[in-house]
Amino acid sequence: PVAGSTGILPPPKGYLKRLREITAQHGILLIFDEVITGFGRLGHAFASERYGVTPDMITFAKGVTNAAVPMAGVMASKKIYDAFMTGPEHLVELFHGYTYSGHPLAAAAGLATLDIYKDEGLFERAQKLEPVFADAMMSLKGKPNVEDIRTVGLLAGIDLAPIAGKGGLRGYEATERMYHDLNIYVRVAGDTLVVAPPLISTERDIAEIRDVIAKVLKAVA
């Protein structure tokens, strides 16, 4: 629902609802990749809740265990589930899997993480931090080489003007300086800085992230 690897591109208003209408009309499955947007990143359990759109399938990972142990999964509508469960009794319902499916360590990490999300109200915390985070990121407009800034939930994409003939270099240099010199890790997608602070961040943490980015933007100008 939000393109992440291409630089944080939130959907235009009404886009996902219209997409749901079209796919339903033509019998096309709508699948949401919520590996990035799931588990509180947008202030809800999943982006589908934020946008009020129910897909046929949702893929998830990362946040389900807080990335402490690798784990991923797929959720499907009852219609899809029933399609697999209505075969002959002697057949395996869903003949798919791999060696480490359902690993007890990953399952335990997932259950513990879900408890923490609930007990500490981290999804609600992300909702409250969203305007603070958005204001902090938008304050970087006008800094050297900043072309565009987009935010949604606790996600931001900051587009930097590329160095002529060396696409991606400015973004790389910025993230390298932040990581090695200033102790903040920001992902880069080409010349776009992708900022995704932890759900436990404080307003002070967000202010520090903003200040570090501003400092680095000046340094790589």
Task: From 149, 221, 213, select the one nearest 185 (Cα to Cα).
Answer: 213
Per-residue HEC secondary structure of the chain comes to: CCECCCCCECCCCCHHHHHHHHHHHCCCCCEEECCCCCCCCCCCCCHHHHHCCCCCEEEECHHHCCCCCCCCEEEECHHHHHHHHCCCCCCCCCCCCCCCCCCHHHHHHHHHHHHHHHHCCHHHHHHHHHHHHHHHHHCCCCCCCEEEEEEECCEEEEEECCECCECCHHHHHHHHHHHHHHCCCCEEECCEEEECCCCCCCHHHHHHHHHHHHHHHHHCC
> In which residue ranges of the chain is pLDDT below 70?
93, 95
pLDDT of residue 189: 94
Pairing of strands 57-60, 73-76: antiparallel
Domains of the chain: residue spans and CATH: 15-119 (3.40.640.10), 128-219 (3.90.1150.10)
Q: What's the predicted TM-score (pTM) here?
A: 0.91
